[in-house]
Amino acid sequence: MYVCMLTYVGRLFETTLPKRLSEWCQMKLCEAVVGSLPEAIKPQHSLFQANLTVRSDLLENIRTGRITAHRASIDRITEYGIVLTNGTILEVDVIICCTGYDIDLPYLLDEYYRMQEKDSVLPARNSLNLYKLVAAPRYPNLFCIGYVHLEGPLVPVAEAQARWAVGAITGKVTLPSPDQMERSIYVYQEDLASRVSCDMPTMFFLLVSSN
């Protein structure tokens, strides 16, 4: 119920209100539903400027003390644990490194699907030169499915992408010219860069479980 309400109201805010006012309203809505964030994990950026953490029990586990959040990085590893950059010493049994990932299709040349660094608005290596994140502008009938970041399930979106790709292959969907597709990709990246915090200093959060 809460998810449906947040999704509906969020879309309403995004489409009818100015950007800053929309973000403020959505933050107030989130605070009303899930409560204020613990100080250790409060972001230093605006809403949607970074990937969302989708985990319904994370806040509850932090509030009840089952998980302790530390806003710091690892300074060094000792024989029995770690020392953080803020001087905190922790005894730990396991260190899980969440390093992210690179999109890599080893059976294709990078130029088939990856945005070249000189042409990319975004600094990330994972910038894709794909129209609608699916179609390769300069390589007809090459479609990549599922390369999207979502706050919800991927399968329904991947199915919609696949149906669209099949429509393009069978002629039921008419694609723009390669130049028009590349322009659309550039506009999309510019919009993404305006909303995503690319220059923000990296912040590290260590979540230590009591179990």
Q: Which residues, 6+ apart, have CB-to-CB distance to 190 below 8 Å?
A: 121
Q: Which of 2-6, 81-85, 95-99 has the lowest mean pLDDT?
A: 2-6
In the chain, where does DSSP find H-type helix? Answer: 2-16, 19-34, 58-63, 110-113, 155-169, 178-195
Give the model's confidence band at 4: pLDDT under 50 very low, under 70 low, under 90 confident, else very high: very low
Q: How many angstroms separate the CA atoms of 201 and 29, rounded?
A: 27
Q: How many angstroms separate the CA atoms of 25 and 51, rounded?
A: 19
- Residue 19: per-residue pLDDT: 72
- Residue 179: per-residue pLDDT: 94
> Which pTM value belongs to this model?
0.58
- Residue 167: per-residue pLDDT: 96
What are the angstrom distances between the C-alpha of 99 and each of 14, 96, 102, 127? Answer: 31, 9, 10, 17
For the CA atoms of 115, 116, 119, 121, what is the dihedral angle to 10 degrees? 50
Give the model's confidence band at 39: pLDDT under 50 very low, under 70 low, under 90 confident, else very high: confident
What are the angstrom distances between the C-alpha of 100 and each of 125, 126, 132, 182? Answer: 12, 11, 23, 27
pLDDT tens-digit map of 124-168: 677 888 999 999 999 989 999 998 877 667 899 999 999 999 999
pLDDT tens-digit map of 75-86: 999 988 899 998
The alpha carbon of 142 is separated from its chain's Cα centroid by a whole number of angstroms, namely 24
- Give the residue with greater pLDDT, 126 vs 72: 72
- Residue 189: per-residue pLDDT: 84
